[in-house]
Amino acid sequence: MDGLGEELRGELLRPGDPNYDERRAVWNGMIDRRPALIVRAMGASDVIATVNFAREQNVLLAVRGGGHNIAGNAVCDDGVMLDLSAMRSVRVDPAEQTARVESGATLGDFDHEAQAFGLATPTGINSTTGVAGLTLGGGFGWLTRRYGLTVDNLRSVDIVTADGELRHASEAENPDLFWGIRGGGGNFGVVTSFEFDLHEVGPEILSGPIVYAGDDARAVIRHVRDFNQDAPDECAVWVVLRAAPPLPFLPEDVHGIGVVLVVTFYAGDMDEGREVLAPLREYGDPIADAVGPHQYAAFQQSFDPLLTEGARNYWKSHNFSDLSDDAIDTAIEYAADLPSPLSEIFFGQLGGEMARVPSDATAYPHRDAEYAMNVHTRWEDPAMDDECLAWSREFFDAMAPYATGGVYVNFISEDEGEEGLAYAANRDRLAEVKADSDPTNLFRMNQNVEPAR
């Protein structure tokens, strides 16, 4: 361990050291693990030294990016935790419309730099999400229908593989490895930087929620579903079922009451967007309509207050090719009995450009999904663990008959066999890539793919 410390430019922490408990804590408050060592890397050389140490000493290695890591695989008991969160550089080339992003950066870091030039790439919907974890799992958000998944906009990566070598992977160089990285999670090494294509977005876009009473949810969601069938790629409309949060545009007397939020986003001409969204804004009797011009980077942060670190979180997900009436009714039934005021169910609209990419072009296989559902169960009292987990699993099972059978790998909370659903038909090829890049399965603290041989 002393030898490792001498090789590092970054920080080496052991139990009992100052900041040890702070560094081992992750976003999900359910995760409480104690690594034997924490390496806070400052660059690729620190990553190489840590990977070599873990391989040579045959100890468990966990890799932490810059964000959430709902499953808690970013930290392990007794092994080595490689913390990349200090590596947050974002370098934008506005002429080439590309960005080079280090693996500890968050979406907020990325947006801050790219939006200085009116540029963005499709990422997620919460600014505290880590770029690395989101990208390795596929990555979707408000821009996905127009510009595809995050991995569809990935040009190349620098990655430290299990043998301690720093490799460059792209369509032209190490193409099989590059294929696996785009949706195969952290199975193939430690990515130290990502190169993305950027697109002209904003800085002002048309977006915002329309909020209805929970009693109107059935009719509202069916209306949104029908609207989405013919919506242009510039438009993304998501539905959220939850108790009304204390947002400033909501009357105080509805705070804590069951509502349905229709969250709109239009990435195009503002006047065209108003015309496109008019059928949604003119429908029914909403409690509030907060649709309007917003700064793109600010809208990316609008849900951050609902996803602060430290709470207990457990997620489940399904993909859907369509939201049938029965699926909608089932979701509404369970939304009426959410186990905590912080919990929610959302349906994120996909399709568009994402669906035009063949399912085997990248490791992310779920190109037929028109919606991704996140069962986002969130609470603060550990005494509620059993109740909240049971509700989540029961709802997940109840929605399965209406789903495609696929799940989003970044929404898996624990090892329950769902990784097979996440990788689907691409799993065998992933196992071959794994055998080439990590034959001993050093990188197994993830939604794991075992080497083929």
- Residue ranges of domains in the chain: 2-83, 90-201+426-437, 204-411
The predicted model gives 154-177 an average pLDDT of 98
- Tell which residue, 198, 200, 204, has the closest CA to residue 93: 198
How much is the pLDDT for 97? Answer: 98
- Give me the chain's average pLDDT, please: 96
Block residue for tokens 């990016």: 65
Q: Is the dihedral of CA 111, 148, 411, 41 positive or negative?
A: negative
pLDDT band of 414, cuts 50, 70, 90:
confident
pLDDT band of 194, cuts 50, 70, 90:
very high
How much is the pLDDT for 248? Answer: 85
Which CATH architecture fits 2-83? 2-Layer Sandwich (3.30)
Tell me: pLDDT of 412 over 80. Answer: yes
pLDDT band of 183, cuts 50, 70, 90:
very high
pLDDT band of 419, cuts 50, 70, 90:
confident
Fold category of 90-201+426-437 in CATH: 3.30.465
Cα–Cα distance, 386 to 391 (Å, whole number):
9
Tell me: pLDDT of 318 over 80. Answer: yes
DSSP state of 18: T
For the stretch 93-143, pLDDT in tens is 999 999 999 999 999 999 999 999 999 999 999 999 999 999 999 999 999
**Same fold? 2-83, 90-201+426-437:** no
C-beta separation of 210 from 291 below 8 A = yes
Percentage above 70 pLDDT, the chain: 100
pLDDT band of 45, cuts 50, 70, 90:
very high
For the stretch 197-242, pLDDT in tens is 999 999 999 999 999 999 999 999 999 999 999 999 999 999 999 9
pLDDT band of 355, cuts 50, 70, 90:
very high
The predicted model gives 22-29 an average pLDDT of 95
Tell me: pLDDT of 417 over 90. Answer: no
C-beta separation of 43 from 191 below 8 A = no
Tell me: pLDDT of 337 over 80. Answer: yes
Tell me: pLDDT of 7 over 80. Answer: yes
pLDDT band of 396, cuts 50, 70, 90:
very high
**pTM value > 0.75:** yes
CB contact set of 266 (below 8 Å; sequence gap of 6+): 205, 206, 207, 234, 235, 236, 272, 273, 276, 277
Tell me: pLDDT of 440 over 80. Answer: yes
pLDDT band of 420, cuts 50, 70, 90:
confident
How much is the pLDDT for 413? Answer: 85
CB contact set of 126 (below 8 Å; sequence gap of 6+): 68, 107, 300, 301, 303, 304, 307
How much is the pLDDT for 418? Answer: 80
- The CATH class, in words, for 204-411 is alpha beta
How much is the pLDDT for 68? Answer: 87
